[in-house]
């Protein structure tokens, strides 16, 4: 097997374990990118190249896939990722106020990371919890019925 430097061995194991499900290794590309991200928080150029060897694809093919999707990060991200829903129901329920609140509080706009590397702030389409908007996901936790005060409380939990 190819030697990997930036993809941890554990991730390599998880990826190769998927191979027997699928008719060809390349079919695991998306899962593999996600596994790498679970371990490394983001997918670096080197990771793309290593994965290419692992999946018998070219880095170009892999990156074509990686850059297509919203949730694969090809740039470093903060320790915590705030995904604020900006879709229609949350729009009606006033997500923009929450957005402004977070912007003012953390001094970052959408797509940016706080200088201390604590948060990356991103918009996300509908989180499927429209009856409890505005909503956001931080890391893997869903937070609903947001108000400015609630947001302050929630952010405290993520250091």
Partner 1 sequence: MPLGLIMAKIFVDNIEYEVPDGKNLLEVCLSLGFNLTYFCWHPAMHSVGACRQCGVINFKDENDKRGRLVMSCMQAATNGTRISIEDPRARAFRAGNIEALMLNHPHDCPVCDEGGECHLQDMTVMSGHNYRRNTFKKRTHYNQYLGPFINHEMNRCIQCYRCVRFYNDYAGGKDLAVFAAHDDVYFGRQEEGVLENEFSGNLVEVCPTGVFTDKVLRKHYTRKWDLTSAPSVCHQCSLGCNILTSERYGGIRRILTRYNGDVNGYFICDRGRFGYEYTNSDQRIKQPSKNTDNSSQPLSTEDALHDVKDSIFSKKNIIGIGSPRASLESNFMLKELVGENNFYGGIPKRESDLVHRVISILHQGKVKTPSLKEVESYDAILILGEDVTNTAPMLALAVRQAAKNQPREKAYALRIPQWDDAAVRESVQGQTGPVYLLTTHHTKLDEIATKAEYAAPDDIAITGFEIVQQITRLSQSANGDESSQSFTASVARDLLKAKKPLIISGTSLYNTAIIQAAANIAYSLKDNGKDAGLVYAVPEVNSMGMSMLEQKNLDDAIGRAKEGGVDAVIIAENDLYFRVDRDIANDFLKNCHHVLVLENLQNETTTKADYILPAGTFAESTGTVVNNEGRAQRFYQVYKPSNEMRSSWDWLNEIRNSISGVHAENFDAVVDEMIKKYPELAKVKSVAPDANFRKGTQKIPRETARYSGRTAMLANINVSEPKPPVDKDSPLSFTMEGYQGVPPSPDVPFFWSPGWNSVQSINRYQTEVGGALHGGNPGVRLLEPSNENKSGYFNQSTEKFSRREGEWLVIPFYHIYGSDELSVKGPALAERIPPVYIAMNGKDLEKGNLKDGDHIEITFNQNKLSISVKSENTLPEGIAGLPKGFKETTGIEFPFWGRIRKV
Partner 2 sequence: MEQPLTQHIKKDGSVLSLKEYEAVGGYQGLKKALKMTPKEVMQMVKDSNLRGRGGAGFPTGMKWSFVPMDDHAPHPKYIVANGDEMEPGTFKDRVLVEGNPHQLIEGMIISAYAIQADISYIFLRWAYHEAAKRVEVAIHEAYQAGYLGERIAGSDFHLEMHLHTSVGRYMCGEETALLNALEGKRANPRSKPPFPQVSGLFGKPTIVNNVETFNNIPHIIDKGTEWYQALSKSPDGGGTKLYGVSGHVKKPAIWELPLGVSLRELIEEHAGGMMDGYKFRAALPGGASTDFLTEEHLDVAMDFTNVMKAGSRMGTGTVIVLDDKTCPVGMVLNLEKFFAQESCGWCTPCREGLPWTAKILDAIENGRGMMNQLDILSFETVYMAPGNTFCALAPGAMEPLQSALKYFREDFERHIKEHKCPWD
Binding site for partner 2 (CB under 8 A): 21-23, 26-31, 33-34, 64-65, 68-72, 83, 86-89, 91-93, 124-133, 137, 140-142
Residue number, 38 or 58, with CB nearest to partner 1: 58
Q: Does 55 bind partner 1 (CB under 8 A)?
A: no
The site map against partner 1 for 101-140 (x = CB under 8 A) is ----------------------------------------
- Tokens linked to 95: 């997500």
Rounded CA-CA distance 85/17 in Å is 34
- In angstroms, how far apart are the furthest CA atoms of the chain? 52
Q: Any idea what DSSP says for residue 32?
A: H
DSSP, collapsed to helix, strand or coil, labels residue 75 as coil
Q: Which of 64, 76, 94, 115 binds partner 1 (CB under 8 A)?
A: 64
Q: Does 60 bind partner 1 (CB under 8 A)?
A: yes
Q: Does 3 bind partner 1 (CB under 8 A)?
A: no
Residue number, 86 or 113, with CB nearest to partner 2: 86
State the number of CA atoms in the 13 A half-sphere of 131 facing the CB.
0
Residue number, 66 or 93, with CB nearest to partner 1: 66
Measure the CA dihedral 140/75/72/29, to 10°: -130
Residue 45 site contact among partner 2, partner 1, none (CB < 5 to 8 Å, cut-off depends on kind):
partner 1
Q: Of 75, 62, 122, which Cα lies nearest the Cα of 95? A: 122
Rounded CA-CA distance 104/88 in Å is 23
**Residues in contact with partner 1 by the rule CB under 8 A:** 23-24, 45, 48, 58-64, 67-69
């Amino acid at each position: 097997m190819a030697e990997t430097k930036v993809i941890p061995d554990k991730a390599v194991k998880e990826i190769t374990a998927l191979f027997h499900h699928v008719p060809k290794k390349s079919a695991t590309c998306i899962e593999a990118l996600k596994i790498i991200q679970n371990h490394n928080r983001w997918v670096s150029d080197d990771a793309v190249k290593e994965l290419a060897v692992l999946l018998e694809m070219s880095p170009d093919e892999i990156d074509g896939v990686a850059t297509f999707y919203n949730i694969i990060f090809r740039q470093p991200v903060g320790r915590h990722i705030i995904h604020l829903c900006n879709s229609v129901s949350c729009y009606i329920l006033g997500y923009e106020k929450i957005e402004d609140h977070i912007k003012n509080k953390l001094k970052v706009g959408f797509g940016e990371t706080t200088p201390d590397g604590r948060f990356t702030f991103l918009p996300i389409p509908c989180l499927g919890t429209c009856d409890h908007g505005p909503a956001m996901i931080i890391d893997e936790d869903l937070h609903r019925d947001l108000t400015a005060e609630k947001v302050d409380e929630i952010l405290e939990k993520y250091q």
